[in-house]
Amino acid sequence: MPKFSYEAITDSGAALSGVIEAETLEMANTLLATRGYIPSRVRKISEKGIGRSLALSLLQSRLTAIKATELILFTKQFRTMFKAGVPIMRIFEVLGYQAQNPKLKRIITGITSDIQEGATFSDALAKHPDTFTPLYRSMIKAGETSGNIPEVLERMIYILEHEHKIRSDIRSAMQYPMIVLIALGIAFFVLLTFVIPRFVTIFSRAGLDLPWPTRVCMVLYTVLSNYWYICLAVVVVGIAGMRMYFKTPQGRYVRDAFLLRLPLAGPLFIRAAMSRFASIFSILQSSGVPVMTSLQILSGTIGNSAIAKEFDRVRDRVEEGRGISGPLNVAKYFTPMVIQMVSIGEESGQLDEMLRAVSTHYDDEVTYSVQRLSEAVGPILVVGLAAVVGFFALAIFLPMWDLTQVARKGF
């Protein structure tokens, strides 16, 4: 059956576009009118055009990432309209129209179709695991079961904004060191390939014995100038190999365990993980999610493979009926404060409140740790920069001093 692309206006004044099947152009207009749309542009398209358009749209949506801010905005808009009593199909119509990200627009269209076919909201979200995490889906499912979706969405927005803030703070703290390291690398390359060789030519003509800093620079220059393609291949293969390895469970565990052992960054990552654990666990408990289900969700959302592996052991012991605080007490990475507060929460029956207090405490700790990291990285980079500059200065000025001595003897 022929296909027609259309642009139309809904009864609420919203613009939309899409593809519709019809025998003729007149029938396409009639079908749009029966749906309550006012057609503004309808034209027939070929099968080749449809395939090319769909392929390009699918490629673009797959290559486009959904930012945390876009997911937060989507959740806020859904919460606001749902709380106001707007029908769910109308909500997705508005959200699909307002979405600027093509991937998010495609996902909203898929969710709308699934719900029209009888799926629940959580089941529709489950078909898009790359966008909606197990935590997100479980929270929505808990809201559907309890009949309190707006409150669950409110808590979900808090989690999303909380985690986005922590990531932004850490990213901001690392921005200055990365800029300095890139500038240092560029300076190292320029000095090694353009400056040092010219001085070495002068020193060699004078018959000087080059000191070891200068000889090291020349060896590095020779390697870069004659075997640059091998160096580039080694770097590319090494980076690609590490990326592939870190995508495996073992690779992620090795990487995350190493990060937790770093002198300054390790404690920061542990505090961030404890804050995430306490915040999510608290919200899951207050949302009526069963403990074992909560522990299973936490294992996949805690954000660090090494801590998640320890948490899996905790979950196995909890299944044996040992409570939560006991298994946490023998697990690595979980701090004494977390263990004590969980123990008090279990005894008093106020686990969610205790966890909320832990989350608030570690939020402040993360902020303080990020500030300390920013303050500590500056002097470390200055020392590193001084060492590099000093090395190149020795490589140039030591033989220049010898050249000056030779010139004096000549006179």
- DSSP per-residue codes, 278-311: HHHHHHHHHTT--HHHHHHHHHHHSS-HHHHHHH
Helix (H, G, I), strand (E, B) or coil at 40: strand
DSSP label at residue 111: H
74-82 own/partner pairs: CB under 8 Å, 24+ apart: 74/99, 74/104, 74/108, 75/153, 75/156, 75/157, 75/160, 76/157, 78/153, 79/150, 79/153, 79/154, 79/157, 82/149, 82/150, 82/153
Helix (H, G, I), strand (E, B) or coil at 16: strand
Structure tokens at 260: 């937790």
Residue type, position 148, single letter: N
pLDDT digits (tens, 9 = 90+) for 25-63: 888 888 777 766 777 778 877 655 555 554 555 555 455
Find out whether 103 and 62 touch, Cβ atoms under 8 Å: yes
pLDDT digits (tens, 9 = 90+) for 233-277: 998 999 999 999 988 989 988 998 998 888 878 888 888 888 888
pLDDT digits (tens, 9 = 90+) for 352-401: 888 888 888 888 888 788 778 777 777 888 888 888 888 888 888 887 77
Q: Indicate whether this model's pTM tops 0.85.
A: no
What's the rounded mean pLDDT across residues 151-157?
Answer: 83
**Domains along the sequence of the chain with CATH:** 3-45 (3.10.20), 68-159 (1.20.81.30)
pLDDT digits (tens, 9 = 90+) for 3-35: 777 777 766 555 667 777 777 888 888 877 776
pLDDT digits (tens, 9 = 90+) for 137-151: 877 887 787 777 888
Please, where are the H alpha helices in 191-227?
A: 196-205, 212-226
Residue % of the chain over a pLDDT of 90: 3
pLDDT digits (tens, 9 = 90+) for 377-387: 778 888 888 88
118 has a pLDDT exceeding 70: yes
DSSP strand pairing (15-21 vs 38-45): unpaired
